[in-house]
């Protein structure tokens, strides 16, 4: 069973932009209530789509450079990357079924 990989600003380029596999970058904060609701769905996505999607977690307060570069204005936030390019952005809480639909649209 795969789980999300926690990364930092310094790892973002190598882990996300240079990844040959599509990547879901999950931006969150310890103080964020909706993040606590979404986190189990992120864990589910990492396990469910392990064969075709890499899932990384970035804590926003500790990683301001990446937050600024990808214009994360609220958490939880999702950024999908494919072939090194940002292809989809979402902010705010998302249900597990909606997350699944979104992932299917990106990885298919």
Catalytic residues: 32, 35
Please give the Cα distance from 26 to 12 (Å, whole number): 12
3-state helix, strand, coil in the chain (%, to 5): 40, 25, 35
Nearest residue to 45 via CA among 97, 105, 108? 97
């Amino acid at each position: 069973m795969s789980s999300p990989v926690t990364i930092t600003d310094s790892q973002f380029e190598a882990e996300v932009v240079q990844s040959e596999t599509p990547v879901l970058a999950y931006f969150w904060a310890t103080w964020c209530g909706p993040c606590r609701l979404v986190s189990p769905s992120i864990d589910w996505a990492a396990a469910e789509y392990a064969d075709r999607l890499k899932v990384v977690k970035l804590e926003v307060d500790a990683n301001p450079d990446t937050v600024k570069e990808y214009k994360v204005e609220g958490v939880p936030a999702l950024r999908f990357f494919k072939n090194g390019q940002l292809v989809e952005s979402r902010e705010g809480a998302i249900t597990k079924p909606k997350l699944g639909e979104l992932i299917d649209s990106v990885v298919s």
